[in-house]
Amino acid sequence: MSTTVRRATPADDEAIGEILVAGYVAAYARKMKHVVVSDERKRTLRDVAGKRAIATVVVVEHEGRVAGTVAIFKPGAPTSEAWLPDAADLRHLAVAPELHGKGLAQPLLDEAERIVRDEWRGKAICLHVRKGNFGVAKLYAARGYRRSPEGDLTYPDVQLEAYALHFG
């Protein structure tokens, strides 16, 4: 299996946007049938250029094609939802649905955590998981992210549970 992790370029934007939409729609259709991904949400997910303008977007290539992505926002970045001081905000982790179970989320998270810890010298990574999305919460917990209820967010259409990973 040939796998490479790198920072996204403008040439990756369309592939990343479609992976995000497919990943979110497929995941919710399979695991949380009551969740509907609106057209507005799909537009937001597809706005990868907008994300790259304010965040670092990372991709994993598998057998020569973009197969997954994650975005990390520096401490204090616009739209960051991090609630801890000197913490980055991790969002939009997705792997193409047909490649689920191949371990491609691991190298994405490894690289995101390395960037925050080693390049940015961040103290922590904050993230949010849709309430009830137990599989995703379990993935992060297995990596050392701990529930952090003080960072929970409630929006009109969604409740988000907060998790944080502290460095040293």
The per-residue pLDDT for range 122-164, each reduced to its tens digit, is: 999 999 998 988 888 999 999 999 999 999 999 888 899 999 9
* Helix ranges (DSSP H) in 38-162: 39-46, 48-54, 105-114, 134-142
- Which are the contacts of 62, defined by CB distance < 8 A and separation ≥ 6? 1, 2, 3, 68, 99, 102, 104
> Which residue ranges form the domains of the chain, and what is each CATH number?
3-166 (3.40.630.30)
- For 70-88, the pLDDT digits (tens) are 999 999 998 999 999 999 9
pLDDT of residue 41: 83
pLDDT of residue 25: 77
- Which are the contacts of 143, defined by CB distance < 8 A and separation ≥ 6? 109, 113, 165
Instruction: For residue 24, name the pLDDT band (cuts at 50, 70, 90).
Output: confident
Q: How far apart are the first and last CA of the chain?
A: 33
pLDDT of residue 35: 61
* Pairwise CA distance, residues 69 & 94, whole Å: 5
- For 32-63, the pLDDT digits (tens) are 556 667 888 889 999 999 999 999 999 999 99
pLDDT of residue 34: 61
Residues 110, 115, 117, 118, Cα dihedral to 10°: 110
pLDDT of residue 2: 86
